[in-house]
């Protein structure tokens, strides 16, 4: 049922940066509701590569996308964030009192003093490859992401693409699958050179099949693949028996209704200042991959930094009469009490 909710801050996007924003806002006694188009928290980390290792999170030599999400959820639990999944924000209207009215496509309405856009690159969807009839298999044997590696255990998998996702999942699934066949339209790969070299080494050792060409046809019944025919660059065709296909042709990023909110945009990104990470609209902030400023790096750790400074500015908007006193969690008994440590 549609809801009408009052809250201090509405966060649009429940990826890692949006989740960490809950923590920074919570330390300042700001209540947050999060809205996400996906059906669970974690954003792209949880949706596209939940088991893929991430190596550049401070303090974690290696952590998977899902584990990072789980740790962030554990960290923000003391602040009781409220999630609203499977929803897209359609409108953000300024109220007469300088607050905002946020409306979703399900009719939910939020009354808030500050809005934080942490939507990554906007709403995203995988690009469907130009293979005739592929949509008939998308519900059962064609997948555009790997949510659980166990689902591919013992399968005959065809991976299509030449970027990082195709190379990484070829390396990760090769030991688990009955057989992996990687198909790319040219000998050179777009992904990391080290990964490309490892894939070529596996192919030379006979542990995977590497075909240079394009998928020309699919075979199967009732949504389940049985074979694919690859048109080879060198000439001729090869029929490969498969039970799963993973096409990695990139993502289509769409801003969706965000483009109509009156916020200044730059090449589908949102320019912000580097003091508060506020947009051209006062009270609306943008953090993470969705924003732009000189020197911007699209890293999760950059988004964490942006969330911390955003929270300080949001506090001044939500409670303008309260003095913002900076405190450290290591020494502040007040903050430790909020976190449930003492």
136 lies in the same domain as 118: no
- β-strand 109-117 against 4-12: which pairing, if any? parallel
Q: What would the pLDDT profile of 159-207 be if each residue is shown by its tens digit?
A: 999 988 899 999 999 999 999 999 999 999 988 899 999 999 999 999 9
Q: Residue for token digits 């508060």? A: 276
* Segments forming the whole domain that contains residue 113: 4-124+252-338
Cβ of 227: how many Cβ atoms within 10 Å?
15
142 lies in the same domain as 225: yes
Residues of the chain with pLDDT under 70: 1-3, 48, 121-125, 251-256
Domain end call among 222, 249, 276: 249
105 lies in the same domain as 133: no
Q: What would the pLDDT profile of 138-152 be if each residue is shown by its tens digit?
A: 979 999 888 788 899
238 lies in the same domain as 296: no
133 lies in the same domain as 120: no
Q: What mean pLDDT, rounded, does the chain reach?
A: 91
Residue 341 makes CB contacts below 8 A (sequence gap 6+) with: none
Domain end call among 203, 231, 249: 249
Cβ of 176: how many Cβ atoms within 10 Å?
14
Position 105 scores a pLDDT of: 85
Total domains present in the chain? 2
Domain end call among 249, 265, 299: 249
CATH of the domain at 148: 3.50.50.60
Helix (H, G, I), strand (E, B) or coil at 8: strand
67 lies in the same domain as 174: no
241 lies in the same domain as 263: no
Position 125 scores a pLDDT of: 62
- The H-assigned helical ranges of the chain are 16-27, 43-47, 65-76, 164-173, 193-204, 300-318, 333-338
Among the listed residues 237, 220, 232, 251, the one whose alpha carbon sits nearest the alpha carbon of residue 156: 220
256 lies in the same domain as 240: no
The three-point CA angle 96-102-106 to 5° equals: 140
């Amino acid at each position: 049922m549609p809801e009408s909710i009052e809250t201090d801050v509405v966060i649009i996007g429940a990826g890692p940066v949006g989740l960490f924003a809950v923590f920074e806002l919570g330390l300042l006694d700001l209540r947050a509701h999060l809205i996400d188009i996906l059906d669970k928290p974690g954003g792209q980390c949880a949706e596209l590569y939940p088991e893929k290792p991430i190596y550049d999170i401070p303090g974690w030599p290696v952590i998977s996308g899902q584990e990072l999400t789980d740790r962030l959820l554990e960290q923000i639990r003391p602040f009781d964030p409220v999630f609203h999944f499977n929803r897209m924000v359609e409108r953000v209207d300024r109220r007469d009192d300088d607050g905002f009215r946020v409306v979703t496509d399900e009719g939910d309405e939020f009354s808030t003093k500050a809005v934080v856009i942490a939507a990554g690159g906007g709403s995203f969807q995988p690009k469907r490859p130009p293979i005739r009839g592929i949509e008939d298999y998308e519900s059962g044997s064609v997948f555009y992401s790997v949510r659980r590696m166990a689902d591919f255990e013992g399968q005959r998998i065809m991976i299509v693409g030449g970027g990082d996702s195709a190379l990484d999942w070829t390396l990760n699934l090769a030991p688990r699958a009955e057989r992996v066949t990687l198909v790319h339209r040219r000998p050179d790969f777009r992904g990391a050179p080290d990964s490309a070299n490892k894939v070529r080494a596996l192919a030379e050792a006979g542990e995977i099949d590497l075909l240079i060409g394009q998928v020309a046809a699919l075979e199967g019944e009732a949504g389940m693949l049985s074979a694919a025919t690859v048109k080879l660059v060198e000439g001729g065709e090869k029929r490969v028996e498969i039970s799963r296909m993973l096409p990695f042709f990139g993502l289509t990023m769409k801003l969706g209704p965000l483009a109509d909110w009156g916020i200044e945009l730059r090449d589908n990104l949102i320019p912000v200042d580097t003091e508060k990470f506020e947009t051209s609209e006062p009270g609306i902030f943008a953090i993470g991959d969705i924003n732009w400023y000189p020197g911007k790096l699209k890293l999760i750790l950059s988004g964490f930094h942006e969330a911390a400074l955003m929270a300080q500015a949001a506090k001044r908007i939500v409670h303008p009469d309260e003095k913002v006193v900076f405190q450290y969690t290591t020494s502040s008994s007040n903050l430790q009490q909020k976190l449930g440590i003492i």
